């Protein structure tokens, strides 16, 4: 039976490290958060980010813009925060209203204030193994893997999902640890080859958003399984991996909810501190 890889205890440990880093900074770090219009999902994120920031000693500056904000005025607002020396990090809450293209807008955040680690300059640094600010979910996955003590050198690692926010940057971080990385996606499933790849995985990471996509019986004996997926099935939240059968075969497995999720917001806060340090230099 697999050991559960829970995010919360690890998040608590990392929060202690963040607190001690903050105590060595000249001033309290400031995270500016922008929400455009009303949205229950965005409000839930804001609440959780605000609470985490405040318990760590990070000032959470919340800016709510109207639903009809144009791209031009949002860019102007971001530029104001870019030039405000008291602000260390900027985050734009999702979802955004239809008139705003997140990909376009997010590139206007200065790379040294991009605490989501999604600016092309920050993503690019991952390729060179030089990134200081990492995308939050891939960073959370790397922390979970690290907590198992696994040496990734030469390991068969299969990542299912190749999105810009999870699968692609995560694969680069894994390559940096000398893992042998296979990236699967919709095309792999289309070619009927998903099972074949998953069965080889000594470490399996799934970030798709389809409940039950990965059958428990495909899991290699003693594999480490990180399930990033979040799916609502009836009144329950489940991942992408069939948990009950998978946990009988894996050595470690993340629960959903309670695995990757609780760590993501902690990674955001770590980036805020990293950004503050970069700006102090
Ligand atoms: P996305 O929709 O951007 O990408 C999905 C990926 O899955 C794509 O690479 C696509 O090719 C692949 N895919 C789709 N159907 C497939 C199939 N049948 N077989 C194999 N691959 C398939 O999604 P995303 O933003 O990367 O998010 C993925 C999941 O992770 C979602 O459930 C999301 O809610 C969750 N997520 C969780 C966290 C967290 O903090 N826990 C953070 C981000 C995303």
> Would you kindly state where each structural domain of the chain is located, as residue ranges?
26-111, 136-261
> What's the CA gap between 109 and 78, in Å, rounded?
6
**pLDDT exceeds 90 at position 281:** no
- Give the pLDDT band (50/70/90) at residue 280: confident
* Mean of all residue pLDDT scores within the chain: 97
Q: What is the mean pLDDT of residues 113-117?
A: 98
> What's the CA gap between 94 and 83, in Å, rounded?
23
Which residue's CA is the closest to the ligand 1 atom numbered 5? 208
| C-alpha 163 to ligand 1 mean position (Å) | 7
Around Cβ 243, how many Cβ atoms within 10 Å? 21
Taking domain 26-111, whether its CATH number is 3.40.1380.10 is answered by: no
Atom in ligand 1 nearest the alpha carbon of residue 162: 9
> Among 41, 84, 92, which residue's Cα sits nearest to residue 65?
92
Q: The pTM is what?
A: 0.97
Q: What is the mean pLDDT of residues 103-118?
A: 96
> What's the CA gap between 74 and 94, in Å, rounded?
14
> Among 148, 200, 147, 151, which residue's Cα sits nearest to residue 179?
151
Phi and psi, residue 103, nearest 5°: -60, -40
Residue-wise pLDDT for 54-110, tens only, equals: 999 999 999 999 999 999 999 999 999 999 999 999 999 999 999 999 999 999 999
- Give the pLDDT band (50/70/90) at residue 244: very high
Which residue of 103, 228, 254, 261 sits with most ligand 1 atoms within 8 Å of its CB, as the best mutation to test the pocket?
228
- Give the pLDDT band (50/70/90) at residue 10: very high
| C-alpha 251 to ligand 1 mean position (Å) | 23
Contact 123, 107 (CB under 8 A): no
pLDDT of residue 214: 98
Domain at 136-261: CATH code: 3.40.50.720
> What's the CA gap between 231 and 147, in Å, rounded?
25
Residue-wise pLDDT for 184-237, tens only, equals: 999 999 999 999 999 999 999 999 999 999 999 999 999 999 999 999 999 999
Could you give the percent of the chain with pLDDT greater than 90?
A: 99
pLDDT of residue 12: 98
Q: What is the mean pLDDT of residues 232-253?
A: 97
Domains 26-111 and 136-261 fall in the same CATH topology = yes
């Amino acid at each position: 039976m697999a050991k559960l890889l829970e995010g919360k205890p690890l998040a608590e440990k990392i929060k202690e490290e963040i607190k001690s880093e903050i105590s060595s900074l000249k001033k309290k770090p400031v995270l500016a958060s922008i929400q455009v219009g009303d949205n229950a999902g965005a409000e839930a994120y804001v609440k959780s980010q605000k609470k985490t920031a405040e318990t760590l000693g990070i000032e959470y500056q919340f800016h709510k813009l109207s639903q009809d904000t144009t791209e031009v005025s949002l860019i102007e607002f971001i530029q104001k925060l870019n030039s405000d020396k008291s602000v260390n990090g900027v985050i734009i809450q999702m979802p955004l209203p239809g008139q705003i293209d997140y990909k376009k807008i997010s590139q206007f955040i200065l790379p040294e204030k991009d605490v989501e680690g999604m600016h092309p300059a920050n993503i690019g640094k991952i390729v060179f193994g030089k990134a200081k600010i990492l995308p939050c979910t891939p960073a959370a996955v790397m922390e979970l893997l690290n907590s198992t003590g696994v040496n990734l050198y030469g390991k068969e690692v299969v990542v299912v999902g190749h999105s810009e926010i999870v699968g692609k940057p995560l694969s680069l971080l894994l390559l940096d640890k000398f893992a042998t990385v296979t990236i699967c996606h919709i095309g792999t499933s289309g070619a009927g080859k998903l099972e074949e790849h998953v069965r080889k995985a000594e470490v399996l990471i799934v970030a798709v958003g389809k409940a039950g996509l990965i059958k428990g019986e495909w899991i290699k004996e003693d594999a480490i399984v990180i399930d990033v997926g979040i799916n609502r099935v009836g009144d329950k939240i489940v991942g992408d991996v069939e948990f009950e059968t998978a946990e009988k075969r894996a050595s470690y497995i993340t629960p959903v909810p309670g695995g990757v999720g609780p760590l993501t917001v902690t990674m955001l806060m770590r980036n805020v501190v990293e950004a503050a340090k970069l700006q102090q230099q």
